[in-house]
Structure 1
Amino acid sequence: MKISLIKYVLIAAVALVIVLILNPFVVIGAGQRGVVLNFGAVQKDVLNEGLHIRIPIMQKVVIMNVQVQKGEGQGDAASKDLQQVTTNVAVNYHLDPQKVADVYQKIGTFDAVGDRIILPAVSESVKAATAQYTAEELISKRQEVREKIRQHLLTRLAVYGVIVDDFSIVNFAFSREFNNAIESKTTAEQLKLKAERDLERIKIEAEQKITQAQAEAESLRLQKENVTENLIKLRQIEMQQRAIEKWDGKLPQVTGGATPFIDLRQGQ
């Protein structure tokens, strides 16, 4: 009885050791896919997230990351007007979960995608897009340039099973000579704009003065036209009435001069 029990325990232990060594179980984590290899040959079927069983010795499973990754790089290129431009870009991407077997077969593990696919694609796309614009247009039409680079990346990376989620231009860097030229042009444009504004202000002020002078002249003309003989007589009568209203009833006394004042009441 005891020998049989020991025998079963030994068999169970050996089986456990064999299972642990051969490891037939594979766990595919969140954001991962499994590429199955049968004696090194890539199979089309891809393992999704969860627990899977593989055939020991015969099958091997390579884990591929399908989560969104961020890559940064730069591309040196010449603009349409032959200015040297360094473009710093950032791209978010992930592997197409349905094509991870092809990616592994053509490129290798996920770590190789960034160096072998993403960076060269970014460099080529930047060169293709910037060559269509002058240096100034790269700045003024930044969104348009960004979209063109993005379209180049989408087309190029789709062939390798890479999906572009987002793309942005971090910065454009130009030569020192070009930066100095841009600064001088900006200063000249600002001075020109200030001169135009000053000229417009002077013109407006002159027009205001002319308008005011014309209004005053028109007012004087209208007043002159309204001054008639009857109006003059009316004003004289009004002045006499105001003088009478102010008179206190006493005649003025003249104390000097050639003509004395004569009181007519004395002759009566």
Structure 2
Amino acid sequence: MATNYNDYFKKNNDNDNNSNNTGGGFTPPELPNFLNKPIVWIIAILIVLAIFAKPFVVINQGEVGILSTTGKFDPEPLNAGMHFYIPIFQKVYVVDTKIHIINYKRIAEAGSMNDTRGGIKLYPSINVLDSRGLPVTIELTFGYRLNPKTAAQTIATYGFNWEDKIINPLVRDVVRNIVGRFPAEDLPIKRNQIATLINSKMQEKLDKLQSNPVILESVQLRQIILPNKIKDQILSVQVAKQQAQRVQYEVLKAKQEAQKRAALAQGMAEAKKIQAQGTAQAITIQANAQAKANKLISESLTPKLLQLKQIEVQGKFNEALKVNKNAQIFLTPGGVVPNLWINAKDKQKASVSK
């Protein structure tokens, strides 16, 4: 039976009037006329339900929303912003699409393998057998993120724990296959090559998955833990190499010193040779010059010139005779100068004049 709100308020007003007439009670104020309409109450109830039911969701940057209608996921993701949905019939799941990190390490001190710290997960390090069956432990860091375009398909296929179903098994499988190709002692030397192979193989595996659920960001090979026997072997090899390099260095140094001394000796010999050649050339040049000078002098000695020179010398003798009148003079045949004179008073003393 429908309730007549007008009759209800009219009856209440009549009761209030009767109370006033009898002189007792408080008279409430009359409600506005628009509240007497049923549609107003219906809208108010819907508003209250909307506030409590919250039929909208806000998606932040680095997230996407997955709209589920009666249990079926909409393939189109809800990007950042406000989105409305119908409560009871629809629901929005917000998933993170930012970069996540998995650290594979010895985590005895780090707690549970499911320990998550701001998008960083800790997983046990990966135990591998090398090409000869020796145990090796690998620690690495794997960076990835959920593909926002196919997030709905990924959640529908793998569930919300898709990381444990996709990433962890693939990483362990790839690392074991690649590291197992090498002997343990070669792993530290070929570290960069192994990291590149792991990265390319992981990308290849992820690309083959349906809907391309994960985007690979980085693979960092952080540590290769070898057996103690292999460590000692590598250390002994390194020591031997260092000793060989030291001996090679000493030999090279001695060889360089010998070459240096030989070069210095050769340089000194060349210098002396050049000096001797210079001296010889100087003597030759001087002799040639003297010969030329003598030749020129001999060519210039004409009979008249010799006679003139004889007259000049005879004049000097004449001057000498004026001083020493007792001197005896001997002239060489032909009147060639120089001439010799001897003091008759002191025959023990001789003098030569040129």
Q: Give the alignment's TM-score, normalised by structure 2.
A: 0.57
Matched, 1:102 2:133: no
Alignment pair present for 1:176 and 2:207: no
For each residue in 1:43-101, what CA deviation from the matched residue of structure 2 results, as whole angstroms up to 9, or x when unmatched?
A: 21221111111122111111111111111113211223433221111121111111101
The 3 A distance-change label for structure 1 pair 96 and 217 is closer
Q: Return closer, same or farther for 1:25/1:191 CA change in 2, 3 Å cut-off.
A: same
Aligned equivalents of 2:42, 2:269: Cα separation in 1: 125
Candidates 38, 44, 48, aligned match of 2:79: 48
User: Tell me, what secondary structure is at the counterpart of 2:74?
Assistant: strand
Distance in 1 between the 2:175 and 2:136 partners?
10
1:11 Cα deviation (Å)?
3.6
Q: Percent identity?
A: 25
Structure 2: how far apart are the matches of 1:101 and 1:33?
9
1:86 aligns with 2:86: no
CA contact (8 A) 2:76 2:149 kept: no
CA RMSD of aligned residues (A): 3.3
What letter matches 1:23 in structure 2?
K
Candidates 94, 117, 126, aligned match of 1:63: 94
Q: Which has the higher strand share?
A: 1
Unaligned runs of 5+ in 1: 235-264
The answer to whether the Cα contact below 8 Å between 2:155 and 2:162 also exists between their aligned partners in 1 is: no
Equivalent AA in structure 2 for residue 113 of structure 1: W
CA distance in 1, matches of 2:197, 2:176: 11
Distance 1:180 1:44 in 2: 57
Query: Do the aligned partners of residues 216 and 156 (structure 1) sit closer, same or farther apart at CA in structure 2, a change above 3 Å counting?
Result: closer
Structure number with bigger Rg: 2
Displacement of 1:213: 6.2
- Kindly provide the CA deviation profile for residues 126-169 of structure 1, in whole angstroms up to 9, marking residues without a partner as x: 11221233334322222221111111222223425110111111
Partner of 1:137: 186
Instruction: Report the AA paired with residue 203 of structure 1.
Output: K
Paired with 1:197 and 1:46, the residues of 2 have a C-alpha distance of 67
AA matched with 2:241: E
How far has the Cα of 1:12 moved from its partner? 4.3
- Residues 267/142 of structure 1: CA separation in 2 closer, same or farther (3 Å cut): closer
Specify the SS of the correspondent of 1:147: helix
Structure 1 stretches of 4+ with a deviation exceeding 3 A read 6-13, 203-220, 265-268
Deviates more, 1:127-136 or 1:51-60: 127-136
Using a 3 Å threshold, how does the CA distance of structure 1 residues 14 and 134 change in structure 2: closer, same or farther? same
Aligned ranges for residues 1-12 of structure 1 at < 5 Å? Answer: 2=31, 5=35, 10-12=41-43
RCO higher in 1 or 2 (8 Å CA, sep ≥ 6)?
1
- Give the secondary structure class of the aligned counterpart of 1:45: coil
Q: Residue 196 of structure 2 corresponds to which residue in structure 1?
A: 147
Superposed displacement of residue 267, structure 1: 8.1
Name the CA distance, whole Å, in 1 between partners of 2:202 and 2:158: 17
| CA–CA separation in structure 2 for the residues paired with 1:140 and 1:215 | 47
* Deviation larger for 15-24 or 165-174: 15-24
Deviation at residue 215 of structure 1 after TM alignment: 7.1
Distance 1:108 1:216 in 2: 88
Distance 1:44 1:215 in 2: 87
Which residue number in structure 1 is paired with residue 247 of structure 2?
195
Q: 1:208/1:26 Cα in 2 relative to 1: closer, same or farther (>3 Å)? A: closer
Residues 1:194 and 1:23: Cα distance change in structure 2 (over 3 Å): same
Whole-Å separation in 2 of the counterparts to 1:17 and 1:216: 110
